[in-house]
Amino acid sequence: MISPFIIIAGLVACAGVGLFIGYTWAANKYSAELSKYVGLQNKYDLLEKRAEDLINKLTPSQEQTNRGLKKLHKDLVKMDENETNQMKEEQSKVPPRIVLFDLEATCCWDDAEKPADNIQEIIEIGAVLVVGGKIVDEFQTYVKPSVNLQLAKKCTGLTGITQAQVDSAPSIRDAISMFREWIGPDYWLGSWGHYDRHQLATDCERIGMEIEWLRRHTSIKHEYSKIVKLKAPIGLGGAIRKEGMKFDGRPHSALAEELHQDFP
């Protein structure tokens, strides 16, 4: 099954942005380093292309000038060595572990069954780990709600998550602890929009867990809109259709959606 996060990787490739898009997700803290890296790469490519264009325009009778331009070409490359090394250094600052995740939460109550507190709780966490542009691992767990224990019928219809699945699932505290242990060190989080991080933060604060680890996050939804120059961000389904792809799996399945965000 292809998950939504896999789709994002595919969107990037289909958009012709190349593998570097995987690193573009690491915005926020790393945005300055990434911008500098891209700028240096573009400058290096431009200098080299200009010199090559000049050489290619010469005729055989212009041998002396040809030699001079070849020397210029070498000088330009040598002069740019320091910036090239700096470019590599900036690239090395990008976290090697990109974690793309998606959540499902309690929802869709009818007026008769709607809880007075109207609290939404996470009932599924799905994620993939991307290293070197490839998915190397997956994570999925259902989560047992602790405030409003009974799922709405429409919630089950939308997500496919049953009451029996959440009743036997880990608590939110245990689920988040397992998720964080799976994520490991030196990571960056990505999700389709800001909702998923917000819901994780809300649930963490409700049960007294710290949220500092969620600061290392980028909304792939907004990054994608910049990459393909959209006037406004669009939903995952719209992005998949725009790239001529098909959703493989059940929509509103945390792991399925998050696999699609990574694209094959």
SS in 3 state form for 205-254? Answer: HHCCCCCHHHHCEEEHHHHHHHHCCCCCCCCHHHHHHHCCCCCCCCCCCH
Please give the residue that has the higher pLDDT: either 166 or 237: 166
Please give the residue that has the higher pLDDT: either 74 or 25: 74
261 pLDDT tier (thresholds 50, 70, 90): very low
Classify residue 262 as exposed, middle or buried by CB count within 10 Å of its CB (0-12, 13-18, 19+). buried
* 189-202 pLDDT, tens digit each: 999 999 999 999 99
Backbone angles phi and psi of 130, in degrees to 5: -110, 125
* 236-259 pLDDT, tens digit each: 888 888 888 877 665 544 444 444
Residue 4 has pLDDT above 70, yes or no: no
* 135-158 pLDDT, tens digit each: 999 999 999 999 989 999 889 998
User: In degrees to the nearest 10, what's the CA dihedral of 233, 235, 241, 242?
Assistant: 0
Query: What is the rounded average pLDDT of the residues 1-7?
Result: 46
pTM for the full model? 0.64
